[in-house]
Amino acid sequence: MTVTISPLDRKLLRDLWHLRGQAIAIALVLAAGVALFVTLLGTMRSLGDTRDAYYERYRFADIFAPVKRAPNQLRVELARIHGVAAVQTRIFSGVTLDVPGLAEPATGQLVSQVDPTTGSLNNIVLRSGRLLAPGADDEVIISNAFADKNDLGPGDSIKAVLNGRRQQLRIVGTALSPEFVYALSPGTIVPDDRRFGILWMNRDALAAAFDLEGAFNAVALKLQRGASEPAVIAAVDRILAPFGGTGAFARQDQTSHFFLTGELDQLAGFSRLIPPIFLAVAAFLLNIVVTRLIATEREQIGLLKAFGYSDIAVATHYAKLVLAITAAGIIVGLAAGTWLGLSMTSYYTRFFQFPFVYFRPQPDLFAFATAIAVAAALLATATTLRRIMRLTPAVAMSPPAPPSYRHSWLDHRSLIAWLGQPSRMILRHITRWPLRAALTTIGLSMPVAVLITSFFFFGAIEAFIDFHFDQTARQDVTMTFFEPSQADVRRTLAHLPGVLAVEGYRAVPAKLTSGTRQKRVAITGYPQGADLSRLLDGALQPITLPAEGLLLTTRLADFLAARPGDTVTVSVMEGRRPTREMPVVGLIESYLGIGAYMDLAALNRLMLEGPVLSGAYLMTDAAEEERLYRALKDSPAVAGVALRRTALESLRDTLAENLLISVTFTTAFATIIAFGVVYNSARIALSEQGRELASLRVLGFTRGEVTYILLGELAILILVALPIGSLIGYGLAAAILHGLNNDLYRIPLVVTPATYGYAWTVVVVASLLSSLIVARRIGQLDLIAVLKTRE
Amino acid sequence: MSIDPNRRRVSLCPPDGPNQQPPELSHINAFLRGALRVSAAHGLNSRPIEATEHPLVAGSQPQTEIAPAFRVRGLTKTYQTDGIAVHALRGVDLDIATGELLVLVGPSGSGKSTLLNILGGLDKPTEGDVFFHDAALTRMTTSDLTTYRRHHVGFVFQFYNLIPSLTAVENVRLVTEIATDPMSPEDALAMVDLTDRIDHFPSQLSGGEQQRVAIARAIAKRPEVLLCDEPTGALDSHTGIVVLEAIERVNRELGTTTALITHNAAIGMMAHATVRFHDGKIAGIERNPNRQPANSISW
């Protein structure tokens, strides 16, 4: 059987070959849009599915509640709460670790562990070694990432100070847990798996170490389907209050889940924001290319119709051309999207600690991406296709009327009096087709905007770091005590090696209520004249701590709708649990966490306690670092040590890795847009003005002068697009941060000149390169043909 | 030996006739001197060519004592199209005297356009030489040819090729801006009787008017050579004559050496000579001792 290709299809193939440069450029932009769509949504779904399956299979709890010390019998009462399916009472504690090979002390989160086969909650996934032997009081299973980063495994041991007793812990296994997909030590926003790990221990051993025999200090609950979360939380709080409950919270406030969900939300946000930009630009390019093609093939269209081809047949022929380019874009996009989705998912699996990944083929997603790409392409060319249908053979076969120019406002105000003729040609061309110029400008502004949305993070994070680590929390070491300690602990700390200054603080959990709004936060008391960890106002100036009243972070004040002068109800959830009406006396700026601050002595008075501290900030001498770390590792009273240097390092490392990936991809994609728009615009300009330009060459204009006329218009549009794209980019950055910022951290909206510089450079370089490819064709203009032929 | 770019003004009644070379012309001379060095290196200008050697142009009355503007020797042009050799020119010899108005006629494909393109620096021959004064066009680089066209040649096209986004005066200014000793665009348009339409865009002008703008644009730089390819081909006879009058006037008043391709043999009546092309060769040259004014021609 021989396959015969109809003459029209043969023409289609030749047209495609003739337009290959432009077709490829458009297909690439379209492919980028489809790929991003598939990547972002596919990753989001895979990650979401993986998370849900993980939670389900390992029974991640729905409600969590810390408590000071509650008797085990309370478990029955908790289980009786309406809507509760399962209760797990546990022992949680922070611990300072001495990890072999690590100079500074690490922080461990101790979690009591029961046999995971008993149908309990928050079950661990053993990755190596074995489960804890019943009754063993020195065995631990450690979190997988912590083991990897420190090269630890079953058979190794680490030293810890458990409630004042220094103890050697034998590692018997490594594990993952749905509770610690994103393992953060308190007060940080990026994981530092080298210095923070989860340690699962037998409950009895922990109870013995922390004087919690017959008691627990944490509870996790699983809800029945359809149970009321707020009602259960209220019931749990009521039951635990007498035993020092500091407030139950739902899964959405659980740190690991919070960050994981935030990441998924961000993917969803990007998938709504970025792919449409690419599809819109591709649609615009298809429109201008097809419109131009029809203009050059006008006579052919008339001829085909004169031969008896129907309007539909001719329009279909051109629709096929559009669809061929679109199909190429879709195929490349789906393939690239799947590959990117896989890489991104596997990256996320490393970043988040998952035991398995669901990445399934997603035919519905493919179908949806295909549908919107085809719809965008046909929509973009619908007007042109309709024009083909309407063209009568007689009209089509006579040449189109030459473009008519009229005097415009440009001439009247002698705006162009000082311009040479080539520049006038450029300006008149822009004002003759203002819509196309505007759309081209917008098309060119998009890569600038897209680049800014990823690159601005570098500067914004630096602003965050500068504010938080250099202006606010300037201490080198933050120590948290097991128990509130008497204020004279400061003297002991001051004598540690290398300690230059000590400032104590008191932090208590409390519920702040204003009207109907309520928030669980920490109230932190600072000593007067605190200079290591400082409180800054909106203008970043240090605030003098008022003797009475509360300072709120701006985000908390916004949430509570409380302003200085208003009164809020403070219900402390520690100690004697006082409840007081307190005035808000000022607002402070904070990029890390939300909370309330007050004078240390006033807080001690509020708590009806003596001068006690929850922890201390240290300024240290870097030269004495090692000796200080050794001392801290052995210090019995320390539940956790956070180091400014390592916190900064891990923040920068994590962000550098994340941002580098995102900036690399954005740069590639933005380059594709810039290339697509510039290349197509220049090719169309060349096609439209080729005859003019060749005439000018005949008249003795040099290639350079003619190139100026060809590309001058684009150059102007690019120059206009740069600031417009910067504005759009700033807006997008603001929108992204609005979605990203939360109660745990806030990235300031800072777009540095370097960000604009980078975005502009990428777009200008991509534009230059693609326009040079087109400019080369000026040398190939047929000078002789212009003498003879009418267009 | 150097070229005096004002030479053209010597022979025929210059309207203003400056005899001194404007300083801005020096770079053209430098360029042409460069071209001459090339010719000298090839020994091409060492052989003085006597007018008598070329009976085809012998007897052109006004310029006998002046070296010709163009000397064409053994010009051959062969195009290779899909492996088939097309001989556009098969050994053409021709001298064109300075200030002469020459009409080139012949059937399609006879070689007249190819010759015009080579004279205009748009194309290069396969063999043979073309001298513009003493500069060998055939030895020039592409960018030299651009400079040659820019400063020495005016073109008039069949389809006018005006820039649609520029008004009449701006179309002329386009060329005067890059010329070294142009006339004012307004003067150029006055020479073609278009003073009242200088601010019109091409789409607002008739075909004849557009062609006159094109002529004004071609002559505004005071070129030594005006090359016209079917300038009346797209015009009716009445409008065509107005255009021919403009060409005639430019040739007469500026002394511009003019070559004009046409299918219309009647136009030969206004020329100093008509060159007939046939099959890539010159089939004959008819001197025209009784030139008629353009407005007396009819077809």
| Distance between CA atoms of residues B170 and B198, nearest Å | 8
A560–chain B Cβ distance below 8 A for any pair: no
By C-alpha distance, the chain A residue nearest B226 is A699
Give chain B positions within 8 Å (CB) of A784: 113, 117, 122-123
Beta carbons of A424 and B165 less than 8 Å apart: yes
How high does pLDDT run on average in chain B?
Answer: 79
**Can you read off the two tokens belonging to residue A81?**
């709460």
pLDDT at residue B241 is higher than 50: yes
Q: What is the pLDDT of residue A316?
A: 92
Delineate the domains of chain A, giving CATH numbers in brackets.
63-254 (no CATH), 411-473+644-791 (no CATH), 499-620 (2.40.70)
Chain A nearest C-alpha distance from B72 (Å): 20
Confidence category of residue B1, pLDDT binned at 50, 70, 90: very low
Contact B150 A428 (CB under 8 A): no
Q: Which residues of B touch A402 (CB under 8 A)?
A: 164, 202-203
Q: Decide if B157 and A787 are in contact by the 8 Å CB cutoff.
A: yes
Check A787 against B153: CB less than 8 A apart.
Answer: no
Pick from B117, B148, B165: CB nearest A405: B165
> What is the H or E stretch that residue A421 is in?
helix A421-432
Q: What is the Cα–Cα distance from A552 to A537, expressed in whole angstroms?
A: 10
Low-confidence residues of chain A, pLDDT below 70?
1-3, 115-119, 397, 399-402, 410-416, 787-791
Which of B120, B164, B217 is opposite residue A405, by nearest beta carbon? B164
Show Cβ contacts of residue B101 under 8 Å, excluding neighbours closer than 6 positions: B247, B248, B251, B257, B258, B260, B270, B271, B272
Of the two residues A586 and B44, the one the predictor is more confident about is A586
Determine phi and psi for A273, rounding to 5 degrees: -95, -50
pLDDT tens, position by position, B270-280: 999 999 999 99
Mean pLDDT across B81-97: 90
Q: Is A225 on the interface with B (CB under 8 A)?
A: no
Mean pLDDT value across residues B64-77: 83
Whole-number pLDDT of residue A399: 65
Pairwise CB contact (< 8 Å): B174 & A421:
yes
Whether residue A654 lies within 8 A of chain B, CB to CB, comes out as no
Subunit contact B150:A700, Cβ cutoff 8 A:
yes
What is the per-residue pLDDT for B23? 39
Task: Give the separation between CA A63 and CA A222, rounded to whole angstroms.
Answer: 7
Chain A positions touching B199 (Cβ under 8 A) are: 407
**Is the Cβ of A290 closer than 8 Å to some Cβ of chain B?**
no
Residue from the list A401, A421, A695 with its beta carbon closest to the beta carbon of B173: A421
Please write the tens of the pLDDT for every residue from B122-140.
989 999 999 999 899 999 9
> Minimal Cα–Cα distance from A681 to chain B, Å?
18
Choose among A432, A699, A783: nearest Cβ to B175.
A699
Assigned architecture for domain B20-296: 3-Layer(aba) Sandwich (3.40)
Mutate to test the interface with A, among B104, B118, B123, B146 (most CBs of A within 10 A): B146
Query: What distance in Å separates the CA atoms of residue A400 and residue A405, rounded to the nearest whole number?
Result: 15
* Residue of chain A minimizing CA distance to B150: A700
Task: Identify the residue among A710, A787, A788, A791 best suited for mutation to test binding to B, counting B beta carbons within 10 A and taking the highest.
Answer: A787
Residues of B in contact with A432 (CB under 8 A): 165
Q: Do B157 and A695 touch (CB under 8 A)?
A: yes
If you measure CA to CA, which chain A residue comes closest to B203? A404
Cβ contact A434:A457 at 8 Å? no
Residues in B whose CB is inside 8 Å of some CB of A read 113, 117, 120, 122-123, 143, 146-151, 153, 155, 157-159, 161, 163-166, 170-171, 173-175, 177-178, 199, 201-204, 217, 229, 234
Optimal mutation site among A412, A416, A699, A707, interface B, most CBs of chain B within 10 A? A699
CA distance A789 to chain B (A): 7
C-alpha–C-alpha distance, residues B100 and A739, integer Å:
80
Is there a contact between A700 and B151 if contact means CB atoms under 8 Å apart?
A: yes
Q: A699 CB near a chain B CB, below 8 Å? A: yes
CB contact (8 A) between residue B146 and residue A703 = yes
User: Mind telling me how many Å the CA of B182 is from chain A's nearest CA?
Assistant: 14
Smallest CA–CA distance, residue B144 to chain A, in Å, is: 10
- Give the pLDDT confidence score for residue A270 in this predicted structure: 86
Q: What is the mean pLDDT of residues B144-172?
A: 91
Which pLDDT does position B66 carry in this prediction? Answer: 62
Is a pLDDT exceeding 90 seen at residue B105? yes
pLDDT reported for residue A412 = 60
Which residues contact residue A129 at a Cβ distance below 8 angstroms, ignoring those fewer than 6 apart? A141, A153, A154, A171, A172, A173, A174
Q: Over range B47-59, report the average pLDDT.
A: 36
- The confidence band for B39, taking pLDDT boundaries of 50, 70 and 90, is very low
In whole angstroms, what is the distance from residue B111 CA to residue A527 CA? 101
pLDDT tens-digit readout, A623-680: 988 899 888 887 777 888 889 998 898 888 888 888 888 889 889 999 999 999 999 9
CA-to-CA separations, A784 to A684, A788, B247, in angstroms, rounded: 21, 7, 22
- 3-state SS of B228-274 is EECCCCCCCHHHHHHHHHHHHHHHHHHCCEEEEECCCHHHHHHCCEE
For chain A, the farthest-separated pair of C-alpha atoms sits apart, in whole angstroms, at: 103
Query: What is the rounded distance in angstroms from the CA atom of residue B49 to the CA atom of residue A340?
Result: 75
**Residue B42 pLDDT > 70:** no
Assess A695–B contact: CB distance below 8 Å, yes or no.
yes
**Mean of the pLDDT values across residues B194-207?**
91
d(CA B11, CA B58): 17
Residues forming beta bridges with residue A570, ordered by sequence position: A512, A580
- The pLDDT of B106-134, averaged and rounded, is 92
Tell me the shortest Cα–Cα distance from B142 to chain A, in angstroms.
10
CB contact residues (below 8 A), chain A span 364-423, against chain B: 401-407, 420-422
Rounded CA-CA distance A73/A360 in Å is 46
pLDDT band at residue B43 under the 50/70/90 scheme:
very low
Q: Phi and psi of A97, rounded to 5°? A: -115, 145
- At A163 the pLDDT is 77
Size of interface A-B (CB pairs under 8 A): 95
**Considering only alpha carbons, which residue of chain B is nearest residue A789?**
B159
Q: Does the beta-carbon distance from B149 to A403 stay under 8 Å? A: no
Interface test with A, best of B27, B116, B163, B225 (most A CBs within 10 A): B163
Q: Say what the pLDDT of residue A789 is.
A: 65
In chain A, residues with a C-beta closer than 8 Å to the C-beta of B217 are 699
C-alpha span between A350 and A470 (Å, rounded): 31
pLDDT tier for residue B55 given thresholds of 50, 70 and 90: very low
Where do the domains of chain B lie?
Answer: 20-296
Return the pLDDT at A482: 83
Give the distance from residue A442's alpha carbon to the nearest chain B alpha carbon, in angstroms: 24
Q: Which residues of A touch B117 (CB under 8 A)?
A: 784, 787
Q: Do B165 and A703 touch (CB under 8 A)?
A: no
Task: Using a CB–CB cutoff of 8 Å, tell me whether A630 touches chain B.
Answer: no
Residue A15's CB: how many other CB atoms inside 10 A?
19
Mark yes or no for CB contact B165/A425 under 8 Å: yes
> Does B24 score more than 60 pLDDT?
no
Q: What type of residue sits at position A211?
A: D
Question: Is the distance from CB of A434 to CB of A442 less than 8 angstroms?
Answer: no
Instruction: Please check whether residue A424 touches B, CB under 8 A.
Output: yes
Q: Average of pLDDT values for B98-121?
A: 92
